[in-house]
Amino acid sequence: MNLSQEDWKSKLDRDSNAVILDVRTPDECDEGFIPKAINIDIYKGQGFIYALEELDKTKNYYVYCKAGGRSAQACAIMNQLGFETTYNLEGGFMNWKGDVAFSSEE
């Protein structure tokens, strides 16, 4: 399901069963990410599928990428794999107005 930035954030803020999934590349994540997001790069192909299979399908997944295209694709793949609840962030991270975290590894 595609959600606007506002709807995605308000739903996320009220969801105790939420997991935030960032499907961008590691280089893109270096530019910042939504706090508590886990990163699984959709460009990993079959590796992306394997990583998804490790996740708890009973959780609600809030998925984003840079602009919203890859995350929409990721939601479709997740739904095919049996994930019941996925929310795509329309406009992606480049339009995100909420909190941003950065890797502390630098």
CATH of the domain at 29: 3.40.250.10
* pLDDT tens-digit profile, the chain (106 residues): 999 999 999 999 999 999 999 999 999 999 999 999 999 999 999 999 999 999 999 999 999 999 999 999 999 999 999 999 999 999 999 999 999 999 764 4
Tokens of 76: 């479709």
Q: What are the angstrom distances between the C-alpha of 55 and each of 10, 78, 90, 91, 102?
A: 23, 10, 23, 25, 23
Q: What CA–CA distance (Å, rounded) separates 85 from 75? A: 9
- The reply to whether 45 falls in a domain is yes
Q: What are phi and psi of 43, to 5 degrees?
A: -75, -5
Count of structural domains, the chain: 1
Position 13 in a domain = yes
Q: Is residue 40 part of a domain?
A: yes
For residue 88, give its domain range.
2-95
